Amino acid sequence: MSRLPALAVLAGGLVAAGALILAAASGPPYLSTDGVSGWIVLFAAGLFAALLATPFAIDSLVGSVGLLTTVEAGLVVVALLFVLLSG
């Protein structure tokens, strides 16, 4: 199981948060007729990366939950067999 989607969500979120802080520190204008602040562009790119990776991270999480549920169900069946065979 790959943790890459979760890392991409985390990295994209950190980049977006850092760029937003730096954009606030650099001050206005963020968007003008001359152009767009580079920090806002970096914020948008980080946010886009996080949003793009989110469905894959959710799918990974669901797969992990499914695996754990299967293992636990198997352990319950084994425990029931031991109880039935012991007496």
User: pLDDT category, 7, cuts 50, 70, 90?
Assistant: very high
> Could you report the per-residue pLDDT of 44-65, keeping only the tens digit for each?
999 999 999 988 888 877 888 8
User: pLDDT category, 39, cuts 50, 70, 90?
Assistant: very high
CA distance 5 to 58: 9
Asked if residue 78 has pLDDT above 60, the reply is yes
Asked if residue 82 has pLDDT above 70, the reply is yes
| CA pseudo-torsion sign 73, 79, 80, 82 | positive
> Would you kindly state where each structural domain of the chain is located, as residue ranges?
4-62
CA distance 87 to 41: 70
Average per-residue pLDDT for the chain:
87
> 8: which residues sit within 8 A by CB, 6+ positions away?
49, 50, 52, 53, 56, 57
Predicted TM-score (pTM) of this structure: 0.69
How does DSSP classify residue 87? -
